[in-house]
Amino acid sequence: MQNLIEKMPKAELHLHIEGTLEPELMFDLAKRNGLSLPYDSVDDIRAAYDFQDLQSFLDVYYQGMAVLQTEQDFFDLTFHYLQRCADQNIVYVEMFFDPQAHLSRGIAFETVLKGIIRAMQQAKTDLQVESQLILSILRHLDEDDGLKALDLAIAYQDYIVGIGLDSSERNNPPEKFRSLYQKARQAGFRLVAHAGEEGDASYVRGAVEVLRVERIDHGNNALQDMKLVAKLREMQMPLTLCPLSNLKLKVVEKVSEHPLLKMMNLGLKVTVNSDDPAYFDGYLVENFTAVQEAFQLKPNQLIELAKNSFEASFLPQERKAHYL
């Protein structure tokens, strides 16, 4: 079973590139940039990754990013992650990045984008790992701040396939970004949004009906509303589930309580993803292994999850067909 999980070609659709910053690289970059960290060692950092909820993680995640300063830093971050993809037979990935979290620290958009794109290009030729970028809007900031990031995405649209919505979910409902999503849709971006991770089912409904997304990131709490579930099934709306993230952020108490299997049995289109693997004790293979062990998934179910990841991707249809 482990062999199948490792060897089958996989796509990852819910991955924050800033969430792949391993403590070792954090130390290296801090040193290179002459910064001091509030930790004494790599072990010290890992010990601090004991989260109570989404916000307690986000506080550490935004602080960790402070070491990312130069184009080379963003290259190193991205290339390290894409090397992991090659190791785990992840042949295609759609990566989120959070430009507002860098602009607010005085890092230019071009610095971030150039470093990431150069790593993506090198990974394609050297590692045969393909990738696309999704610019994610920070929902704890106001819509005007997000619109500035969207304008940058429009200026660099050749390099960005979609627009997403992340950060603190509760009290920042999808409706807050109605105009931004309308503008993004008119510009031709593919649309996704985090919903139903900590927010209730109404956040998932709002993402689908008001923002008109093509994919929901997480979506766990959709199960609170069976009419919504019927609609998601009807639409075959993909949900990018993140089991180990949900465990670390106490969205679920145990992997066996994760809604993945229930959703599969309800006929929903679910995928397995790693979210912020450097913070949540596992990349994609470890997420697959966790749900296989918790639910005793059969080979055909693992293969279905991997196929879903390609089907739900923003690859052109003829490229998807190769994996289905």
Which residues are identified as catalytic?
Answer: 197
Question: Would you say 169 or 275 has its CB closer to Zn ion?
Answer: 275
Instruction: Supply the minimum distance, in Å, between the C-beta of residue 167 and ligand ADE.
Output: 5
Measure the N-to-C terminal CA separation of the chain; round to a whole number of Å.
20
Binding pattern for the stretch 180-219 against ligand ADE, x by CB under 6 A and - elsewhere: --------------x--x----------------------
Tell me which of Zn ion, ligand ADE, none is bound by residue 19, counting a contact when its beta carbon lies within the kind-specific cut-off of 5 to 8 angstroms.
ligand ADE
Q: Is the dihedral of CA 54, 57, 63, 66 positive or negative?
A: negative
102 binds ligand ADE (CB under 6 A): no
Question: Would you say 240 or 292 has its CB closer to Zn ion?
Answer: 240
Instruction: Supply the minimum distance, in Å, between the C-beta of residue 58 and ligand ADE.
Output: 6
Instruction: Pick the binder of ligand ADE from 73, 76, 130, 275 (CB under 6 A).
Output: 275
Q: Which of residues 264-283 bind Zn ion (CB under 5 A)?
A: 275
18 binds Zn ion (CB under 5 A): no
DSSP state, residue 96: E
Question: Would you say 6 or 281 has its CB closer to Zn ion?
Answer: 281
Instruction: Supply the minimum distance, in Å, between the C-beta of residue 250 and ligand ADE.
Output: 12
Which two structure tokens, joined as six digits, stand for 259? 């809604």
Question: Would you say 131 or 323 has its CB closer to ligand ADE?
Answer: 131
Instruction: Supply the minimum distance, in Å, between the C-beta of residue 275 and Zn ion.
Output: 5
Instruction: Pick the binder of ligand ADE from 208, 276, 292, 306 (CB under 6 A).
Output: 276
Q: Which of residues 208-267 bind ligand ADE (CB under 6 A)?
A: 245
DSSP state, residue 87: H
166 binds ligand ADE (CB under 6 A): yes
16 binds ligand ADE (CB under 6 A): yes
Instruction: Supply the minimum distance, in Å, between the C-beta of residue 271 and Zn ion.
Output: 13
The structure tokens 């391993």 sit at 22
Tell me the chain's radius of gyration from C-alpha atoms: 18
Question: Would you say 71 or 276 has its CB closer to ligand ADE?
Answer: 276
Which two structure tokens, joined as six digits, stand for 160? 């960005």
Question: Would you say 239 or 315 has its CB closer to ligand ADE?
Answer: 239
Q: Give the residue from 114, 119, 41, 44 showing the smallest Cα distance to 77.
A: 119
Instruction: Supply the minimum distance, in Å, between the C-beta of residue 161 and ligand ADE.
Output: 18
Cα separation of 90 and 12, whole Å? Answer: 7
> What Å distances lie between residue 237 and 61, 310, 311, CA to CA?
29, 14, 11
Q: Extract long-range pairs of 218-222: CB within 8 Å, 24+ residues apart.
A: 218/14, 218/194, 218/242, 218/246, 218/251, 219/195, 220/196, 220/246, 220/251, 220/252, 220/258, 220/259, 221/196, 221/197, 222/196
Q: Give the residue from 118, 133, 31 showing the smallest Cα distance to 77.
A: 118
Task: Identify the three-state secondary structure at position 240.
Answer: strand
Chain residues binding ligand ADE by CB under 6 A are 16, 19, 54, 61, 166-167, 194, 197, 245, 275-276
Chain residues binding Zn ion by CB under 5 A are 275
